[in-house]
Amino acid sequence: MELVLASSSPRRRELLAALGIPFMVVPPPQDEAHARPGVLPAALACELALAKVRAVAALHPQVPVLGADTVVALRGRALGKPVDHEEAIAMLRRLRNRWHRVVTAIALAHHGRATLAYATSWVHIRPLQEEEIRRYVEKGEPFDKAGGYAIQDQELRPVDRYLGCYCNVVGLSLALVVRMLKRLGVQVPSSPPTSWCEACPLWARIVGPERPC
């Protein structure tokens, strides 16, 4: 059974490919997340993930469609992708030397039904220097990333500590994906596909909020 990934994110493509299952990529019509005042981060991530999946599932109703959305939350406020240099610099300044939450919601649709799950990880950004922030922003790195950073960035190395699922922070919790696909009858590996998954507490439990939509 072929799977459709409703995402334009190269990071999500790389993570899903680690499972070794066939899939094709169909980006949704609107793939940009925008934080809205008053909407809880988890609710926002779920809403956006479901919207992406439903848009693509309407074009591919016979195959499972998987999509996700990531929201960074600092003190209860959702941070989306920065829209310009000034916002990117401001985000990184706010996040540095602080803990924050990263919520990634995953939606899976097939034959007119959808399931939804999300995971939360805690991340601490190291005390970034002003010159590091400006150089990172000038390279254009933050603009396709919630919160303006990537945990896996080998040059900036913004994260010095995290709790929970690493893949969740990158943008797609493989533990949740595996659980959801297994319930759909898709053959997926039971052993951790990456070194991150080997040490992941969520992978060990394969748990998370999931409900029919």
Which residue type is seen at 79? L
Rounded CA separation 49/78 (Å): 15
| Residue 157 CA from chain centroid, whole number | 18
Let me know the angle formed at the C-alpha of 193 by 192 and 194, rounded to the nearest 5 degrees.
95
Q: Could you give the residue ranges of the DSSP H alpha helices within the chain?
A: 10-17, 41-57, 85-95, 130-138, 166-170, 174-184, 195-198, 201-205
**Beta partners for residue 125, in sequence order:** 96, 159
**Beta partners for residue 60, in sequence order:** none
For residues 113 and 180, is the Cβ–Cβ distance under 8 A? no
Contacts of 53 (CB under 8 A, 6+ apart): 6, 28, 65, 66, 67, 107, 108, 109, 114
**How many of the other CB atoms lie within 10 Å of CB of 38?**
8
Three-class secondary structure of residue 108 per DSSP: strand
153 in active site: no
Q: Which of 31, 69, 84, 144 is catalytic?
A: 69
Provide the annotated active-site residues. 69
